[in-house]
Every structure is written in C-alpha cells, then in structure tokens.
C-alpha cells in the first residue's frame, strides 16, 4: 500500500491539507493534531484500514511512524 493513502486519511481526520502531513508527522509537529483530533485520527485509520487498536495502543500511536508500525503489525505493509 502507498504511504500516501495513510497520510491522506490522517490529513482528512485533522482537517488539514495532505501537504501538511509529512513522513514524521505527529502530535508534536502538526498544530491541528490535538487530543480531540487524535481520537478522530485513530477512528479514521481503524475504519480506512479495517483494523482495531486497543485502548493502550490508541493512546500511544501519536505520530505517523507509530501508526504505520501498528498497521504493519497487523499485516498492512507500505511503500514509500
């Protein structure tokens, strides 16, 4: 799967332009990514990729690399 699709899902959840979501985007680097929007990100990723994160992981996946890792643990692989 192309990593652009994941970036697009995150951008939609954060209500920002896709260009604002870089490979290392996180709550620390994207101003719109606050605690409420984080819930939107988690729910959007779960819906888009047909996965479920447990509560602990949902709280911990605060950036694109961590989300990608969580998806890869569930068998979803990404290309650049």
**What residues does each domain of the chain span?**
3-72
Residues 32-46 pLDDT 10s: 999 999 999 999 999
pLDDT above 90 (res 80):
no
**3-72: CATH superfamily:** ACP-like (1.10.1200.10)
pTM, rounded to two decimals: 0.94
Residues 55-70 pLDDT 10s: 999 999 999 999 999 9
Q: What is the mean pLDDT of the chain?
A: 96
- C-alpha dist (Å) from residue 41 to 24, 66, 71, 73: 15, 12, 13, 18
Q: Which backbone phi and psi does 52 adopt, to 5 degrees?
A: -135, 130
Look at 1-5, 45-49, 56-60 and tell me which has the smallest mean pLDDT: 1-5
DSSP H helical ranges for 18-62: 35-49, 55-60
Distance in angstroms (rounded) separating the CA atoms of residues 66 and 25 = 10
The structure tokens 């479920």 sit at 52
Portion of the chain with pLDDT greater than 90, in percent: 92
């Amino acid at each position: 799967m192309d990593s652009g699709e994941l970036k697009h899902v995150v951008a939609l959840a954060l209500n920002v332009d896709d260009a604002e979501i870089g490979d290392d985007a996180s709550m620390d680097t994207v101003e719109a990514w606050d605690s409420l929007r984080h819930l939107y990100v988690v729910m959007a990723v779960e819906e888009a990729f047909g996965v479920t994160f447990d509560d602990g992981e949902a709280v911990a996946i605060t950036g694109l690399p961590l989300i990608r890792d969580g998806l890869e643990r569930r068998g979803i692989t990404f290309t650049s």
